Amino acid sequence: LTLRGAAAPRVVDAAEQVPGEVPRWCHALAEREGGGPPLLLRHAERLAQSDVAALLSLLERRPAVPLVATHTPGAPTGPCLSRLLDILSARSVALPPLRERVDDIPALLTAFTGHPSPGRPPLTWSLDARRALEQHTWPGNVAELAHVVREVAERRRATGPVRREELPYGLRVPPATRRLSGMERAERTAILEALRRHGDNKARAAESLGIGRATLYRKLRAYGMDQA
């Protein structure tokens, strides 16, 4: 969130591994007595050691720096990152996974859509597409939703609101109609991921999974995914 009159935050995604971005921000903030733009750091668990060291050094000198970081619970952390997270924990907020707060999806879609490319209309979403997004389990949380929005925006050639049929295969399919075992859930997820990775091409997805097309179609029917 940005307070009225405050500078827009600098957003850094550690998963994208931008060399030197965090140390540069730390150095700039340390040199300015009046402060600087806040930093929104995503995927703190993916930080390089040099980034962690720069943040720890800055926090030692200026504990109240405008820093917001997101971290995936359960991700492995080394001693330096653990120390950084401990320092930040006093002002931390536990955010439920996206599947538990689907009411946030419309606002997130608006935020991720941003401004369209020149010559393209703004990206909007049909009610059916939004329902499909709300039914998805979002194992990758908000980052997965952002990826889906980018993928749809880059691939679509149609006009008007995005329809369910334009979503990646794994989002078009309805939830399983019966309770699945752990093995079945893992297999269903692997199939959906293979289809997404290969642009819904079932032949290539089957090949990547090491099964025949007939077997893939049988599993799609068994998991209620053959109508997407």
Two structure tokens written together for 38 = 């806040």
The pLDDT, as a whole number, for residue 203 is 92
Backbone angles phi, psi at 74, to 5 degrees: 90, -10
Angle at 97 between CA 143 and CA 16, to 5 degrees: 20
The pLDDT, as a whole number, for residue 36 is 66
Give per-10-residue mean pLDDT for the chain (228 aa): 53 76 79 67 84 87 81 78 80 76 90 73 88 86 87 84 87 73 84 82 91 90 72
CA distance 84 to 86: 5
The pLDDT, as a whole number, for residue 125 is 93
The pLDDT, as a whole number, for residue 162 is 92
**Partners of 69 in the β-ladder:** 41
Give the N- to C-terminal CA distance of the chain in Å, as an integer: 37
Dihedral angle, C-alpha 147, 108, 19, 31, nearest 10 °:
180
Instruction: Compute how many other C-beta atoms are within 10 angstroms of the C-beta atom of residue 146.
Output: 17
Specify the pTM.
Answer: 0.54
**Contact between residue 184 and residue 194 where contact means Cβ atoms under 8 Å apart:** no
> What domains are defined for the chain?
10-91 (no CATH), 97-167 (1.10.8.60), 176-228 (1.10.10.60)
Which helix or strand (DSSP H or E) is residue 152 part of? Answer: helix 141-155
The pLDDT, as a whole number, for residue 45 is 86
Is the Cα dihedral 181, 183, 186, 191 positive or negative? Answer: negative
The pLDDT, as a whole number, for residue 49 is 86
The pLDDT, as a whole number, for residue 7 is 61
Instruction: Compute how many other C-beta atoms are within 10 angstroms of the C-beta atom of residue 134.
Output: 14
